[in-house]
Chain A
């Protein structure tokens, strides 16, 4: 078990390094640089003294050859220092730390809602014996996955804020401000959970142990929830791990539509301004959250299914 954890940790570090390196390459390959972007911040073609630009590039170290910049930045990043944002001058780590709680709140609430929505749809859809109801319920997830988040957000704002005046249209203030953005973000996520869970529930219900349980006289509900759902939730859990990444990405759109502060807004602003230190900070940080979540989920598997034993081998063997 310990060897397994160590190995997984090493993999996680590898993923972080790759995220850092790829983002560095992409950002350096782009034409232009953050200093020029900043100098033209007024959106006007005013004159900028080239000597001043050169001095600024030197100050931020953008004048050095790419490999040197890479080595220097990586060295500092390992120690948790991603430098200062070019557009605001604030340290990248404090910018991210300031935005993180808002995004955690949003994605946490969205994930919770998504699990409730997904389970709430998959369980009755597979339980009901009415064909039309099953068809109806099972046709909702593909719809939820395919409508754009942006559109869902605007629709919810239009209805619940502008027309009904129930909830605020923007801001990070309290619980009321969290409802609509979390719901928006939960729609595509919940739909995917529902799809996977419904499919694995149907598979599980055809398994022999379900027959056995029924033969022993277990009621339909009991078979469905205690026996089938428990096994069927494993693939859904794996999906949840992947969806965490999607939730963070989705926060870019949702935080913009609902004018919330958070990692998504920071990301959007950093990319627009070509703020290399901040973008790199966001990429590595996002990768960190993703890697950690998936690591935790891998370690949770044995608790859900006693048949899974983690070994130092690549595969998780069935005992």
Chain B
């Protein structure tokens, strides 16, 4: 009974942390505790076969961005810190403690003693320094890690187990960044190799699993690291992992992935689409899902366009979108409509659902007030000019087109004409940089609210051409404070400013959805909605 009440207490804590949105019940669980029924005692042994949809062509955690490959390579390396997926708090892993200067420019990590890499070498401050010093030279595939360390002045060895990272500007996000796979610590032997060699041959880490074999486009095989004893402070099992082997098979066809799980050829699959849910229901399968933290899927607004400079037009678009209809018709069951510009799984998220409520009447009156009168064809016009906007989008997710066709209908209902313009995935960045767009459909996954600064500060790239306002002050302020309460308050202010001024039109949270055989237990999401398999067992 004690165990049960413990679970309850932690559930309540989770609810408080996630504010009200988690009250919305979903069809699939978010992992945690026991995903299967009749759990029994956890036991060691067995092989977990996991079918993923694609292969990034690289098995270096510092250079992989695609979730499908991160699932595997995350298990090879440990990070300095870990992030609690329920509270967003940063907790010890390879670093047993750390100090951050009050201006958030200097981060000092005190490493745990006795950690070794799988080649036998020891974890020291020098190894961490070597890792961070090599990150800027990673090249094109290392943009995530490079971004986390951008503006770094120096990494210095204070003593064999103390390492200090100094930035030129306040950089509060760096602490969370040290919990990501992108800044996972690799052995000196790996750091010395070229980025290409690390990509194709894999790396040596200190993680709970060791890379055994990588066959491009086919599989990644990992084996348990024997003697592992320095797991993250938030894991329930101490010491080695339960599973002996992990085999990640690349199975690109979604229907084949689902069938392979149903017929017992694999134990878990990733990227379950709405179309495959029905096939998986009722079987010996559990669906697991969690919203990706970061900026939700929505319309990025080019705030410098003549039509979109008018805050009333932007607010009308915000009110005209029926988020629930989009989430319920197009996305996997359980996907939640956006309730802020940040997903509810992001630390310091604020519930702004009342500002994002669907209200066609309000949208119409805002447009009337802005001088846009309905024409004979139902499309509004002002001074002989039609209210017509283009949404640029890229086929990087199967849900994009149907979601946008719904947005198109919804906006048409209040008199806004929308043209959908499809581009190539490779043009995404160019489109944002060039600024030749009205609205652009996209999202950004990041488990730190600093992503708001990256996306919306006029002092950085400013892809969305925002005017300089007090929003900049809030965004810079949150990056420069180590006081969690103050940071939360500034992040809340920033979210409100973005949503109320409709600098962005949040639509729907991106949900990571996995399906897992019922014999697999404790397959849990981490804070980035990826997976950690140390505590996972089969029985």
Contacts and interface: CB of A to CB of B under 8 A. Distances in A.
Contacts of B425: 37, 40, 43, 272
A98 interface: yes
Interface in B426-442: 426-430, 432-433, 440, 442
Interface in B162-221: 195-196, 199-200, 215-219
A154 interface: yes
B522 interface: no
A162 B461 contact: no
A158 interface: yes
Interface in B411-428: 423-428
A152 to B, nearest CB: 13
Interface in B135-168: 139-141, 143-144, 146-147, 150
Contacts of A154: 253, 255-256
Contacts of A272: 425
A158 B300 contact: no
Interface stretch (B29-37, B79-87, B259-267, B468-476): B259-267
A29 B162 CA distance: 53
A170 B460 contact: no
B454 A46 contact: yes
B387 interface: no
Contacts of A39: 140, 143, 429
Contact of B200 (A53, A89, A259): A89
A258 B260 CA distance: 11
Nearest to B255: A154
B422 to A, nearest CB: 12
Interface stretch (A120-128, A197-205, A261-269): A261-269
Contacts of A35: 140
Contacts of A43: 65-66, 396-397, 425
Interface in B512-536: none
A217 interface: no
A34 interface: yes
Given A32-B430, A259-B249, A259-B253, A172 B218 contact: yes
Interface residues of A, number: 55
A32 B433 CA distance: 12
Contacts of B140: 35, 38-39, 52, 56, 86
Interface string A58-87: 000000000000000000000000001111
Does more than half of chain B's interface fall in helix, strand or loop, or is it mixed? mixed
Contact of A44 (B219, B423, B442): B442
B251 A170 contact: yes
A76 to B, nearest CB: 18
Given A39-B143, A40-B426, A50 B433 contact: yes
Given A38-B141, A90-B200, A161-B259, A45 B217 contact: no
A35 B429 CA distance: 10
A31 B461 CA distance: 22
Contact of B216 (A56, A98, A162): A98
B252 interface: yes
B325 interface: no
A274 B427 CA distance: 11
B139 A44 contact: no
B445 A44 contact: yes
A265 B253 contact: no
A33 interface: yes
Given A45-B444, A46-B143, A266-B217, A274 B429 contact: no
A165 B264 CA distance: 10
B444 to A, nearest CB: 5
A47 interface: yes
Best-surrounded residue of B294, B429, B454 (most CB of chain A within 10 A)? B429
B57 A42 contact: no
B250 interface: yes
A225 interface: no
A42 B142 CA distance: 11
A31 B265 CA distance: 41
Given A37-B425, A168-B265, A169-B256, A89 B196 contact: yes
A41 B56 CA distance: 9
A265 B217 contact: yes
Best-surrounded residue of B140, B196, B199 (most CB of chain A within 10 A)? B140
B424 A31 contact: yes
Contacts of B316: none
Contact of A165 (B196, B217, B263): B263
Contacts of B51: 170
Given A46-B444, A47-B461, A171 B424 contact: no
Contacts of B218: 171-172, 259, 261
B426 A34 contact: yes
A89 B429 contact: no
Interface string A20-40: 000000000011111111111
A240 to B, nearest CB: 29
A162 B300 contact: no
B511 interface: no
Given A45-B429, A171-B249, A259-B251, A87 B57 contact: yes
Contacts of B143: 39, 42, 46, 48, 52
B291 to A, nearest CB: 15
Interface string B21-60: 0000000000000000000000000000001000011100
A256 B2 CA distance: 50
B109 interface: no
A50 B454 CA distance: 15
Given A42-B65, A45-B443, 11 more contacts: A33-B426, A37-B425, A40-B428, A42-B66, A42-B144, A43-B397, A47-B454, A47-B455, A90-B196, A154-B255, A170-B256
15 contacts: A31-B424, A32-B427, A44-B444, A45-B443, A48-B429, A48-B433, A56-B139, A88-B200, A170-B260, A170-B265, A171-B218, A171-B249, A256-B252, A269-B57, A269-B217
Q: Which 4 A-B pairs have the closest CB atoms?
A: A37-B426, A42-B65, A89-B196, A32-B426
Interface of A: 30-50, 52-53, 56, 84-90, 98, 154, 157-158, 161-163, 165, 168-172, 256-259, 261, 265-266, 269, 272-274
Interface of B: 51, 56-58, 65-66, 139-141, 143-144, 146-147, 150, 195-196, 199-200, 215-219, 249-253, 255-256, 259-260, 262-263, 265, 294, 300, 396-397, 423-430, 432-433, 440, 442-446, 454-455, 460-461, 463
